[in-house]
Chains A and B, each alone.
Chain A
Amino acid sequence: MDGYAFTLAGAELLALPSGALYWPAQALLCVSDLHLGKAERVARRALSPLPPYETQDTLTRLEEALALTGAETVVCLGDSFDDDAAARALPPKDRLWIATLQAGRRWIWIEGNHDPGPVDLGGEHLAELSLGPLTLRHIAESGAQGEVSGHYHPKAGLRGRWRPAFLLDAARLILPAFGTYTGGLRSDASVLADLMGPQAVAILTGEVARPIPMPR
């Protein structure tokens, strides 16, 4: 499997080019910030009628990641839905699709700032998850160790091109947003630069997962 292999707090992990994280020892796949139902929420707020295909696209890529890894546990690291109403408004076809993906797997929804409430879809709903040496939560906490989080949609640039990226240092990993309709925050933004240690690495997503020193 192509990806960038690294160790965080003793756990051997793999950053996939798609922006998903795989933990082979636990057969666990982690994705963050799916923002399912974004187009619906934007339309509901009368902002604009965005093409309503982002849920389909995001789930297609999630399905591919599951097929690739054969993961037995899936952790969606928060902001899985653009808001709670967007989760409720998911069309039956997409609900069924999610149920199919969940079949035979442990599935955990971590709560995010966009989707704090439990969803009426299968799977567990947790504020955070501790597993072995790692803690999986939506928003990074200062001073945490062995923490895997999302929320910031980090992007990093190489040769002038910025794209979604994992940010990694000795204490924590921040995942890029996996959802189709998501923008990004550059790694040189002060909140990210302050959070990440001086030796931090950004792992670019795209064709290959490519590590570079984190631009700051």
Chain B
Amino acid sequence: MLQTEAAPPWSGGGGAYAIPEVLEQIRRHRITLIFHNTRAQAEIFFHTLWMANDEGLPIGIHHGSLDRQQRERVEKAMVQGRLRAVVCTGSLDLGIDWGDVDLVIQVGAPKNVKRLVQRIGRANHRYNAPSKALLVPANRFEVVECVAALEAVKDNDLDGDPRGPGPRDVLCQQILIAACSGPIDPDALYSEVTSAGPYADLTRPDYDACLEFVATGGYTLRSYDQWQRLKQRPDGQWQLRDPRAAQLIRMNIGTIQDSDTLKVRMKRGGGRALGEVEEGFAASLTPGDTFLIGGRIVRYEGLRELTVEVSRDPGRKPKVAVFSGTKFATSTQLSHRILRMFQQDSWPELPAATAEWLALQREVSRLPQPGRLLVESFPHDGRQHLVAYGFAGRNAMQTLGLLLTKRMEEMGLAPLGFVATDYATLIWGLDAVSDPGPLFDRTALREGLEGWLAGNAVMKRTFRASATIAGLINRVTPQARKSGRQATFSSDILYDTLHRYDPDHLLMQVTREEAMRGLVDFGRIEEMLDRISGIDHLALPRVTPLAAPLFLEVGKVPVEGEGRARLEEAEAERLMQEAGLA
């Protein structure tokens, strides 16, 4: 772990406090790679690092949201040895010979032990030199997580989950792509698919259902069979009905899902491409807002045909671009280690600031224990807040947030939204919760899961990914580019339609499976319930030390219901009054 003079902040993910020490390490090494878990964090860190770089050390930035040309320039400079450091994300893992890299700095917690070992291992590709890496926890909670992870490495206690069966949306894409390169023999393709490990147990009916989906859409209602995608020839082989479709299908190959992004360009100076931001972030901008991209601050000018137009704007405080990267959940094993660490009387292995933070939490509230569920409630900023320290990993904690807010809605507690981290779920609403016990009833949670699975945002997000992979939604279409946003409609509409008229459709099954396995992760909620013997509820006057970081988390999920309707009504009235229209 990198020793720093300044203590890590209470919250945040940037690791900016460690800039002086990171610069010192760059000076002492030939080439340093500084890994971040998300693109946004890489951006902020690079910006701050550059401001502090008085000696003008050549430092570059590299992540998947940057324009390809810009990335290639950095890669080239690195290979030629013209850079001393590169701030990057996982995007730099691939395809680069980095023999001269002699130090890796990982900013942010590694989330699981295996990943940490792999990252360090990638640090130095020369067989005869040991890998050298430093960890920089981004905040005080991550200090605990990093120490726990390092101890696990020392104990050679590697975690990891068994791999599930091959997903059927990927199989659909495989069939579609195979059909693009020529007629397919269904039996031969089945043999080929089942020769791959993940699909070894794939049954013929399941395979046939995927083929049916690819060919016709696989809907109960067969209303436009003459336009099906694949046609069966007299010899039993399947081929594309319209060979021209091959181009579109090939344009959409791939299973890595990125959120919808918009290109960012300079408004003047030839409209140079800078990179991409998420559509949701672009939607939150109003002209004059500033944000960071490619390490520089730019000013939002407007949206033009799916491109974010910006101008140069040095010196102002940026509104930070939010790119939500892949969110790995902290592993069960690592979570348990952290809970066990919390039970120590003191923490000599932790930096003083972090040890004090834990001590303060113990003083004003309590530290979570492995066998109990700590729930805190307190008012803050005009809203009532509830925090459950479940330590079940980000995905399960998110599911818990969805289930709890649903229960709260039913109980008339007007929840407004929640946010989840690996260790806790924070819920805010208009009314206070006096007794959280009934909220965590296992049967009720399970029933809630059944009912709720149908109509929530996580399912819709999973559906979008599966429908894109399976070839129902084209992420790239020449037509959509031409006619603009008006022509496209959201995949949520498709989900709602299928849910209503064809709930057993293949893609609905796949969505359910994928969600249970990935984002829902109900298994870890059950693991949490098994682990705890009861709930400790503390009603407190203000935000607690352990809860504070949650307020700065990105990925807040709004809850649609009574509470939001009440706020919307008030907001609409206020706007009408202000505009003199009411």
**Which residues on A are within 8 Å of B, measured CB to CB?**
39-40, 43-44, 46-54, 56-57, 89, 91, 152-153, 157-162, 180-186, 199, 201, 204, 207, 210-213
Contact = CB atoms under 8 A, between A and B. Distances in A.
Interface stretch (B3-11, B360-368, B486-494): B486-494
B575 A212 contact: yes
Interface string B489-502: 11001100110111
Interface stretch (B186-194, B258-266, B336-344, B471-479): B471-479
Contact of B567 (A47, A48, A159, A212): A159
Interface of B: 216-217, 219, 221, 223-224, 227-229, 240-242, 244-245, 248, 283-284, 471-474, 477, 479, 484-490, 493-494, 497-498, 500-502, 505, 558, 564-565, 567-569, 571-572, 575-576, 578-579, 581-582
B442 to A, nearest CB: 32
Contact of B223 (A52, A152, A158): A52
The listed residue with most B CB atoms (<10 A of its CB), out of A43, A157, A182, A210, is: A43
A59 to B, nearest CB: 12
Given A50-B472, A181-B489, 12 more contacts: A39-B224, A43-B227, A48-B472, A49-B472, A57-B497, A152-B486, A157-B283, A183-B485, A183-B487, A204-B572, A207-B565, A211-B582
A162 to B, nearest CB: 7
13 contacts: A46-B248, A48-B473, A50-B217, A52-B217, A53-B497, A53-B501, A153-B486, A159-B567, A183-B490, A201-B581, A210-B568, A211-B576, A212-B572
B569 A210 contact: yes
Contacts of A49: 216-217, 219, 227-229, 472
A91 B223 contact: yes
Given A40-B227, A52-B221, A52-B224, A46 B569 contact: no
Contacts of A182: 489
A211 to B, nearest CB: 6
Contacts, number: 122
A184 B501 CA distance: 23
Contact of A48 (B240, B474, B493): B474
A159 B571 contact: yes
Contact of B474 (A47, A157, A183, A207): A47
A52 B219 contact: yes
A61 to B, nearest CB: 12
A53 B579 contact: no
Contact of B500 (A48, A57, A162, A181): A57
Contacts of B502: 51, 53
A51 B224 contact: no
Given A152-B486, A183-B486, A183-B489, A51 B501 contact: yes
Given A48-B474, A183-B485, A183-B488, A54 B227 contact: no
Contacts of A46: 227, 229, 240-242, 244-245, 248
Nearest to A162: B283
Given A50-B494, A52-B219, A54-B497, A185 B486 contact: yes
B486 A212 contact: no
A47 B488 CA distance: 13
A52 B502 CA distance: 10
The listed residue with most B CB atoms (<10 A of its CB), out of A39, A153, A207, is: A39
